[in-house]
Structure 1
């Protein structure tokens, strides 16, 4: 290692310490001199100490036969000094926080990593540390506003992703090419994670006042279920205009969700589907906003049920497995016509199942046919929701659902023609 690289590494260690020190000093900027344990100068030197310890370890530690002794000695000294002075500050201010001590240890470690290891990882670690320190108010407020059921759901999500998923078999099971249990669980987790992220975002950034916003949130969970729920409320005499706006907004979110799933799971299909999905979404959003402007809110709308309940995930996984099996069986038995029929029927309940199933069949289904199958599923789901609005809702609610649906479908077809589908 030449001298230039040594200076580079030591410079990065100092820069990491200085960046952390800026955040620590800014947070206690109103304190008088001598009243803070560590600020910009101290943390800059801690980063430098880490870099120097790493260089000493590189030059002498390994050759001495006692690897790590230089790092351990410097780390113990830094941690001890920080802990003593932080304890004195806590006693004086009657506060309890070990953040600065941990930040100092991490700054030292990142400085040592910059000197000994990958400089890119050290830089990324420094940026992550600063982001965590600067996010104190945001994180504390988020924890204060989250409910136990949401935290429990997050734990379940992590357990399913990192504990359950790795031990589930990946090999397909069953006839007609079989269905992979691992892929089904992974897709169910993906869909539930999207819904859960939207749910938590609303809990963190504001209440769900108004039918339009409530409908958009419901679209993250199930636009079909949201439409039926709003239709029943309209039949009970609540404001049909804002309820229709909410149901139409749920449909717009559903189209965006479909575009996201296609782009994530089968990017090859997105160029043909993006234009029609975008055109249909724009029409639905405009129609929903127009109705909301002329309607009267029907009162506060509560958040939808937690989108990551185990029963909901189990039902989604079962639906995905059934749709995947039926789609493969229909394709093997009836060819392309069977896949189209299976997509249309499954979308009567939920368009996501058809979307992820077709996306997972790209190895055996041509891209043009996969595009058509998803397009038919979207169309089937939109028309089904209009029919449900007619069955469960009052006349004006259903009329607006049909109007928005037909205009959106027309816009989607125009987008399809303009994009020149494969």
Structure 2
């Protein structure tokens, strides 16, 4: 098939796809009562393709003039229609202009971008009610969280230099900020997942979602909750489940930064996850009668900029310390850094060692350090349960944590 004909057919198909959604949305309107339906959108895409085909003969003016004419016609049809039903929404007009431009893009040869754009436009058009419903229920703090995440990702990230600075070349502003965005994005995603699920779904569901954001913070919340709700086995099951989520999260972070570490790292992380998950199931099956528990206080806050900056500062400190120790003590000195870093945060040292393993340390050193940090952080959860909770909470919790650590050490010694 001739490539020009193929591009024309693709343009037609994209117009029909968007027109299918628009026609379905206006399916109850009488014949001739719609501004544009499936046929009109198909023709708009074909007109864009034909305009692009005439570019060599007539120049870029043909595309601009045709686009202006289509916009004028759609705008006039919308004005006449709005006089009757008082609906001033411009969605169909904008969708029609986009469809024309997609036809131009398809004929110019960028089929992948044209197809992807058409699918995204169709999805946005179809989920109108869902999007409007979500906007009605978003709080001011949640909107701020979304905007702040957009600010630090799509606005600030692209302008940061992607090269090494500072002592030992340890600091890459672009990579450091990318890791900040990664952690912030995971936390905000967990917040909305928890909010959509609802606080009344139970401690275990909250633990599952809260473990994605911060298993340590959730451990502290559940330990404090023990004073109001003395159900130690249930709370221990939640802490163990959140802890079990931490290990796949570590693997996810490593997969993003340095996937070559995964074949060596996953056995110890899988062993710890299975140990905590098995202990969580055991505690759950032996849980006390607890009735209805309100877990609203366990929901994490929407993303805020200050915690992200704190994480970035911690990441910089750990990177400098890690590179400094390596320069003076060798690679094995990094294990000391991993143990200390694991007392407060396992994400920063995980991301640091995964990054260093790409060019400055061995895979064995990075994997051992990440595992030691995970073990230390697991021990910290047991300490938090004791100091913030009660000894009765530790009795069902500590054996599960100990099992996970034992399995990690065993796996580490065999690799």
User: TM above 0.5, one fold?
Assistant: yes
Paired residues of 2:314 and 2:348 also in contact (CA < 8 A): yes
Match of 1:277 in 2: 269
Determine if the alignment matches structure 1 residue 382 to structure 2 residue 378. Answer: yes
Output the aligned Cα RMSD: 2.3
Match of 1:64 in 2: none
Given candidates 201, 207, 224, the residue that maps to 2:198 is 207
Paired residues of 2:190 and 2:210 also in contact (CA < 8 A): no
When structure 1 is superposed on structure 2, of 371-380 and 146-155 the one drifting more is 146-155
Given candidates 155, 175, 186, the residue that maps to 2:178 is 186
Runs of 4 or more, structure 1, over 6 Å off, are: none
Question: Aligned ranges for residues 9-408 of structure 1 at < 5 Å?
Answer: 9-58=7-56, 60-61=57-58, 67-168=59-160, 172-203=164-195, 205-209=196-200, 210-293=202-285, 294-295=287-288, 296=290, 297-302=292-297, 304-362=299-357, 363-408=359-404
Counterparts of 1:84 and 1:130, CA distance in 2: 23
Paired residues of 1:157 and 1:189 also in contact (CA < 8 A): yes
Counterparts of 1:221 and 1:46, CA distance in 2: 46
* Distance of aligned partners of 1:130 and 1:375 in 2 relative to their CA distance in 1, 3 Å threshold: same
TM-score, structure 1 normalization: 0.89
Unaligned 5+ segments in structure 2 are none
* Distance of aligned partners of 1:57 and 1:176 in 2 relative to their CA distance in 1, 3 Å threshold: closer
Deviation string, structure 1 residues 52-102 (Cα, Å, up to 9, x no partner): 2222233x21xxxxx222222322222222222222222322322111111
Counterparts of 1:301 and 1:244, CA distance in 2: 18
When structure 1 is superposed on structure 2, of 271-280 and 36-45 the one drifting more is 271-280
Deviation string, structure 1 residues 78-132 (Cα, Å, up to 9, x no partner): 2222222222222322322111111110111111222234222222222222122
Shift of 1:249: 2.0
Paired residues of 1:217 and 1:304 also in contact (CA < 8 A): no
Deviation string, structure 1 residues 229-280 (Cα, Å, up to 9, x no partner): 2212214454323322222222122112111111111211111121322232
Shift of 1:349: 0.9
Deviation string, structure 1 residues 292-346 (Cα, Å, up to 9, x no partner): 4534253232353435212211221122122222222222232233211110111
Shift of 1:382: 0.7
Shift of 1:223: 1.4
* Distance of aligned partners of 1:206 and 1:57 in 2 relative to their CA distance in 1, 3 Å threshold: same
Counterparts of 2:120 and 2:80, CA distance in 1: 28
Counterparts of 2:106 and 2:176, CA distance in 1: 42
Counterparts of 2:161 and 2:54, CA distance in 1: 49
Paired residues of 1:272 and 1:416 also in contact (CA < 8 A): no
Unaligned 5+ segments in structure 1 are 62-66
Deviation string, structure 1 residues 173-228 (Cα, Å, up to 9, x no partner): 5545543344333322221111112212333x331322222223332332122212
Counterparts of 2:253 and 2:66, CA distance in 1: 50
* Distance of aligned partners of 1:372 and 1:84 in 2 relative to their CA distance in 1, 3 Å threshold: same
* Distance of aligned partners of 1:92 and 1:231 in 2 relative to their CA distance in 1, 3 Å threshold: same
Shift of 1:368: 0.9
Counterparts of 2:297 and 2:138, CA distance in 1: 15
Paired residues of 2:142 and 2:302 also in contact (CA < 8 A): no
